[in-house]
Structure 1
Amino acid sequence: MNLESPKVTVQKSAQELFDLLSDVKNFEKLMPDNIAKFEVTGEDAFIFGLKGMPEIKLKIKDKITPSKIVLGAASDKLPFTLISNIDSLSNSESNVQLFFEGEFNAMMAMMVKGPISKFIETLANNMNKL
């Protein structure tokens, strides 16, 4: 299952945005209002939980300065990645778009598609809070 957020313009350089997204603590600012838990578990990992959903642990799997950060599920039970693509527009402005890629059976995909689409859209729209 592949989903993508809308492209969002942020008033930060690509490097600045990359640096902010490389620090997992900053993901708390991007979370939706219905967050029930957010805990940094290491330099490159965090756990979050939304009300009514199981907790998910994400870990930085790959970084390409200053254009891409790949977060992946720390558990193999639900294998997925969340990719942040950053495009520089100028010295003080960049675009960011999030891509979700997950391997789910048809039933699971049907159940999670709506909530995950809304979640990555919220993350993208909150980029200006960084």
Structure 2
Amino acid sequence: MNLESPKVSVAKPASYIFEQLIKVENFEKLMPESIAKFEVTAPDAFIFGLKGMPEIKLKLKEQQPNTRVLLGAASDKLPFSLEAKIDETSAGSSDVQLFFEGEFNAMMAMMIKGPISKFLETLAANMHKL
């Protein structure tokens, strides 16, 4: 299952957005209001929980300076990734888009597609809070 957020423009340079996204504690600023739990468990990992959904642990997997940050599930039970692509559009402005990729059976995919799409949109819409 592949999902993507709308592309959002942020009035910050790509280097700034990249530096903010590789600090996992900053993801708390991007979370929706319905967050029930957010806990940094390691310098490169965090757990979050939204009301009505199971807790998810994400770990920083890859980074390409100023252009890409890849987070992945810390557990192999539900393999998925969350990728942020950063495009500098001018000296003080960048576009950011989020991509979700996961391997789920058809039933699970049907159940989580809507909530995850909304979650991605919220994360992207909150990028200006970094």
Asked if TM exceeds 0.5, the reply is yes
Report sequence identity in percent: 70
Counterpart mapping for 1:52-71 below 5 A:
52-71=52-71
- Measured against aligned partners, the alpha-carbon deviations of 1:32-55 in whole angstroms (never above 9, x if no partner) come to 000000000111100000001000
> For residue 10 of structure 1, what is the aligned residue in structure 2?
10
2:85 counterpart of 1:113 = no
Partner letter of residue 114 of structure 2? Answer: G
Matching of residue 32 in structure 1 with residue 32 in structure 2:
yes
When normalised by structure 2's length, the TM-score is: 0.99
| SS, match of residue 107 in structure 1 | helix
1:77 partner SS: coil
SS at match of 1:53: coil
Deviation at 1:120, TM superposition (A): 0.5
- CA deviation after TM superposition for structure 1 residue 91, in Å: 1.3
Query: What corresponds to 1:48 in structure 2?
Result: 48
Across the aligned residues of Structure 1 and Structure 2, the Cα RMSD in angstroms comes to 0.4
Taking the aligned partners of 1:10 and 1:25, their CA distance within structure 2 comes to 19
Equivalent residue number for residue 125 of structure 1: 125
Taking structure 1 as the reference length, the TM-score comes to 0.99
Letter in 2 for 1:86: I
Q: Which consecutive residues of structure 2, in runs of 5 or more, have no partner in the other structure?
A: none
Structure 2 equivalent of residue 95 of structure 1: 95
Name the amino acid aligned to 1:68.
R
Cα deviation per residue 1:87-130 (whole Å; 9 max; x = unaligned)?
00111100000000000000000000000000000000000011
Report the Cα distance in structure 1 between the residues aligned to 2:66 and 2:100, rounded to whole angstroms.
19
Uncovered stretches (5+) of structure 1, i.e. residues with no partner: none
SS in 2 for 1:86: strand
Q: How many residues align?
A: 130
Provide the rounded CA distance (Å) in 2 between the counterparts of 1:89 and 1:41. Answer: 34
Structure 1 ranges of 4+ moved more than 3 A: none
Cα deviations by residue, 1:62-92 (Å, 9 ceiling, x for unpaired): 0001100000000011100000000001111
